[in-house]
Amino acid sequence: MSIIRILPEAVANKIAAGEVVERPASVVKELMENSLDAGASRVEVSLEAGGKRRICIIDDGCGMNHDDALLAFERHATSKIRTAEDLFEISTLGFRGEALPSIAAVSRLELETRHASENAGTRVEIAGGKLRNVKEVAWPQGTRVEVRDLFFNTPARRKFLKSESTELGHIATLVTHYTLAHPERSFRLVSLTNEILNVSPVATPRERVYQVLGGQLLEQMVEVTPVERRMPAPSFAGPDEESEPGEPVIVRVFGFASRPEIQKLNRNQIYFFVNRRLVRDRLILHAITEAYRNILPSGMSPVALIFLEIPTAEVDVNVHPSKTEVRFRRSQFVHDLVRDSVRQSLVAARPVAAFPMGKQQRSPTTDMLEADAAERLSDEPPGLKGSEIPGPSGPPQRRHDFRLSSPRPTPEPGRLPLDDAALSFYSPPTLGGQTAVPTVAELPGATGASELPADLVPLGQVQESFIVATNPEGLWIVDQHAAHERVLFERHIRQRRERKVEGQRLLMPIVVELKLEQQAVYQQIADELSANGFEVEPFGQRTVAVKTAPAEIRADDVEQLLLEILDSVGQEARSLSLDDLRLKIAASVSCHAAIKINMALDQNKMRWLLRALGETQAPMTCPHGRPIVLRYGMKDLQKAFKRI
């Protein structure tokens, strides 16, 4: 008896229409989805010529009986939905009933399958959409679909295929991401010469990430711990509202998000799964970008794998034929939940850049798929690495509780003269008072209070640029400019929030010439500039006179700072929120005011800086998102010296 049915025309017409077979990867996607929908616990994909010559997918799923094996190739033939209402609650990856006929129309396809209810299997052969042969075969339960010579009958489309390696790359990426969404199943991907991927079932997504992407990447990621939240009842019952009042609608988010030191130029490595379906969604991309605001420099993107589990009635997958776009019924809720979950995980983690060493010294931009299998095998099992990362440091009192294994070096006051810029270095750190410190959530860029251990002892500087410090955990290296910048940035933001930032009157006004665009920006942000310690007045046609500037800025730096602020705000001025504008100004001011690299610091100043940094909300990343601190843990040292 058939379980596949042809959808009535009225239902078929409601399905997002369009061609889905664009390239070998789209064939693999549709066939893999079918295998997963069939409940397969093993899916094996083999390829020749990047899938252009041959794609073969074998699964151990439920299989099809003889009738269904034929019916499956009719348009709109599916076992997954029946009525138009079913479109509102799709729990399978497929539902359009279009993939098999579309693929069979443009290739030579062979299907072998057997359902448990039948003793014999069925083989169906179709070429260019024409049925060539059907016969009984011996076949274990499950399904095998072989697609040869894709687009053999549509040469124009064949021409558009890319090189073998490009197509293979697309397929490898795709299969990798399905493996991440289904850790409890096993997957294998092979080409004629290579086994590209082979993963056995594991209990947790974390283990699957380790299997597929390697320990190195896992170490660079923070686990987004599962967050469950009940959706609020819709504020008004529109005509489409169907959920019963009181019925709990639980949404769950979990996954992995990269530490701030991982920075990508585009968003291609943000993967988002809704009910285990890989989708591209602008709303979620936005939520993730928001979560990294002031943790990553603007324009940079993280690596993220985010899984959302949401009742099927809350998400519409019938938006686009390739089923990679979705629409959420309550999109703002989903957006905020994802943003907050990612943000909180970043806050809870200690985003310390481990000091790279030896063979682990791989660029953070190493593509996820480049991870070489041999190297992965020699990595430690997951979990071990994580335990090296020290847990959150104790309460602030611990700050004075020195437990040193190394003697404290004696201060060397005034070893080298400091120039003017360092004067601000002595300005009393207003961060000290506990009450003045805003909550983590309040301060942008905050990634957890006091993550920097309080017991660091500065040993000296490397090239008068990087402070070297130790504590019992190991060796720490701190970028002195970035550290001071972070301290000043938080202070500036706080002062601005509490009141107007006082400026310092310049001896002589500084006249700055503005380009037309800079003039326009200046007019728009003049009030905010004056609340940030600038007193600027129009002076002549194209020039302004700066009479007062933020206190820490040297006179000869004022012009450059002002121009930099105007340019960085640039065309965004109209759309920039007031908060964003304040952050931009604070980031520019603190960058200019901070001590520079190539500047000698004595012991007192280094100690002051480390302490002030430890008191900031985000001691590990500078306002532009670069790392401030590197840690070379005791274990790393012992390993490097072959003591363990």
- Least distance to ligand ADP, CB of residue 155, Å: 25
Which of 81, 99 has the CB closer to Mg ion? 99
Of 286, 285, 338, the residue nearest 309 (C-alpha): 338
Given Mg ion, ligand ADP, none, residue 78, with its beta carbon under 5 to 8 Å by kind, binds ligand ADP
Residue with Cβ nearer Mg ion (177 or 596): 177
Separation of alpha carbons 324 and 318, rounded Å: 9
Beta strand pairing call for 195-199 and 121-127 = unpaired
3-state helix, strand, coil in the chain (%, to 5): 35, 25, 40
Q: In this complex, which beta carbon is closest to ligand ADP, that of residue 315 or of residue 628?
A: 315
Beta strands in 437-485 (DSSP E): 457-462, 466-471, 474-479
Partner touching 4 among ligand ADP, Mg ion, none, CB below 5 to 8 Å by kind: ligand ADP
User: Counting beta carbons within 10 angstroms of the beta carbon of residue 5, is it exposed (0 to 12), middle (13 to 18) or buried (19 or more)?
Assistant: middle
> Considering CB distances under 5 to 8 angstroms, the limit depending on partner class, which of Mg ion, ligand ADP, none binds residue 603?
none
Among 94, 382, 503, 623, binds Mg ion (CB under 5 A): 94
For residue 307, give both structure tokens.
């899984």
Q: Using an 8 Å Cβ cutoff, are 603 and 430 in contact?
A: no
Shortest spacing between CB 238 and ligand ADP, in angstroms:
29
Cα of 120 vs its chain's centroid, Å:
48
Q: Which of residues 29 and 631 has its CB atom nearest to ligand ADP in the complex? A: 29
Answer yes or no whether residue 21 interacts with Mg ion by CB under 5 A: no
**Site residues (CB under 6 A) for ligand ADP?**
4, 30, 34-35, 38, 59, 61-64, 72, 77-80, 94-100, 143
> Least distance (Å) from Mg ion to the CB of residue 31?
8
Q: Which of residues 33-52 bind Mg ion (CB under 5 A)?
A: 34
Print the SS3 string covering 378-407.
HCCCCCHHHHHCCCCCCCHHHHHCCCCCCC
Q: In terms of C-beta density within 10 A (0-12 exposed, 13-18 middle, 19 or more buried), how is residue 52 classed?
A: buried
Please identify which residue in 57, 70, 99, 181 interacts with Mg ion, judged by CB under 5 A: 99
Q: Least distance to Mg ion from the beta carbon of 16, Å?
A: 14
Q: Which residue is nearest to Mg ion (CB)?
A: 94
Residue placing its CB nearer to Mg ion in the complex, 95 or 355: 95
Q: How far is the CB of 16 from ligand ADP (least distance, A)?
A: 12
Using CB atoms, what's the residue nearest to ligand ADP?
94
Closest contact distance (angstroms) between CB of 72 and Mg ion is 9
The Cα angle at residue 331 between residues 329 and 333, in degrees rounded to 5:
110
Residue 29 vs 335, nearer CB to Mg ion: 29
In angstroms, what is the minimal distance from the CB of 101 to Mg ion?
10
Instruction: Please give the structure tokens belonging to residue 103.
Output: 């693929």
SS3 state of residue 21: coil
**Residue 62 binds: one of Mg ion, ligand ADP, none (C-beta under 5 to 8 A by kind):** ligand ADP
Residue 306 interacts with which of ligand ADP, Mg ion, none, CB < 5 to 8 Å by class: none
Find, among 408, 429, 419, the residue nearest to 603 by Cα: 408
Q: Which residues make up the interface to Mg ion (CB under 5 A)?
A: 34, 94, 99
